[in-house]
Amino acid sequence: MAPIRLRHPKGVSTLNISLDSDSYTVKDLQQEISSVSGILPNRQSLKCGYPPRVLTLDFPELPISSLGLASGEQLIVSETAEDSGIARVKPPSSSTTSSSSPFLNPVGQAPAASSQTTRSPPRAAPAPAPAVSASSGGPDAVETEGSFLVHRVVPDDNSCLFSSVALIFEQDMSKAPSMRKIVAEGIRKDPETYNEAILGMPPQQYIAKIQQPSAWGGAIELGILAAHYNAEIASIDVETGRVDQFAPGADRTAENRCIILYSGIHYDAATLAPMADAPAEWHQTLFPTRNANVLAAGKKLADILRAKRKFTNTATFDLKCEQCGVGLKGEKGAQAHAKETGHTRFGEY
């Protein structure tokens, strides 16, 4: 007998089944799942593995081995409106609007144009996707399509943007310094785009500063990193819910997207897992751009953080320069002080 962990609307159960038995069929598994979940066999949608794959249940009389399950497998069951064993996700309608905003960056940053994408809830969804609060002992998360988009907190230091991107693209936030080098090289290779007017200082000076651990990153860095990894970076503002989407370039269409959360002075990552408390190696960090449901879940995750006041209004917050001790007001004050003095370490009062 092999243990199979089953996540269902009522909670989590463990099933012990004979994976190598020719007499134990897919139908037998469905009956066991029905007994613990209350979902009838012909209304079950099953997913396993990570990224989650939909199991084909067209032939319930086949032995369980036909599903390719392994001992210790994680199964997720949900109820589908289809009178079939195959879950079919209905593509929701969409609309696109434009917005723009500056990103706090003492190195010197220009406002970045962006677009915000919203989608209506998937058809046949009985209720809004539930949230899992960190107060229950785990990270904040939002359920979407049988998985959970999880708030992945990175260290609250001047490298939070680079740590978040390193966690997403390299699965290792300790590679933040490598992200800084990628940015520096991107500026060096494209002096026409990244000129003094855009950077707010001579390019060589910016290159030197952005490689220092004390320098914050913002819109310029996100654009360069999106181009380097050929993926869209969607930055969701916690305070407003605005989505700033950084594409690889005007001549390239991104097939994949990642999500970061911006609090006004801090960046975190958001990744997808089969359970909110799943180990790091189970998390998916990139998602197809055609799947708007994950982006919608990211906006709901920002809603949770906003309700907890986990954001800072950068126009009005009080800062102190940690290098000279002068008090500053808001993002503009920090940027002006940085340009005037070259100081880049700031703390909130």
In single-letter form, the type of residue at position 289 comes to T
Same domain, 252 and 122: yes
Same domain, 285 and 322: no
The C-alpha atoms of residue 345 and residue 265 are separated, in whole angstroms, by 12
Task: Report helix angle 160-170 to 219-229, nearest 10.
Answer: 10
Compute CA distances 211 → 22, 172, 216, 269, 273, whole Å. 60, 18, 10, 21, 32
Residue given tokens 């723009």 in the structure block? 100
The C-alpha atoms of residue 261 and residue 305 are separated, in whole angstroms, by 10
The C-alpha atoms of residue 288 and residue 108 are separated, in whole angstroms, by 32
Q: Show Cβ contacts of residue 313 under 8 Å, excluding neighbours closer than 6 positions.
A: 239, 264
Active-site residue set: 157, 160, 266, 343
Same domain, 144 and 228: yes
Q: Has residue 90 been placed in a domain?
A: no
Q: Has residue 87 been placed in a domain?
A: no
The secondary structure of 171-231 as a DSSP string is S-GGGHHHHHHHHHHHHHH-TTTS-HHHHSS-HHHHHHHHTSTT----HHHHHHHHHHHTS
Same domain, 278 and 303: yes
Same domain, 58 and 104: no
pTM of the entire predicted model = 0.61
Number of domains in the chain: 3
The tens-digit pLDDT sequence of the chain (349 residues) is 778 888 777 777 888 888 888 888 989 999 999 898 888 888 888 888 756 678 888 788 888 888 888 877 788 888 775 433 222 222 223 233 333 333 444 443 333 333 333 333 333 333 444 555 544 567 999 999 889 999 999 998 889 999 999 999 999 999 999 999 999 999 999 999 999 999 989 999 999 999 999 898 999 999 999 999 999 999 999 999 999 999 988 777 889 999 999 998 899 999 999 888 888 888 999 999 988 999 999 999 999 999 998 887 666 667 788 889 888 887 678 778 887 888 866 766 5
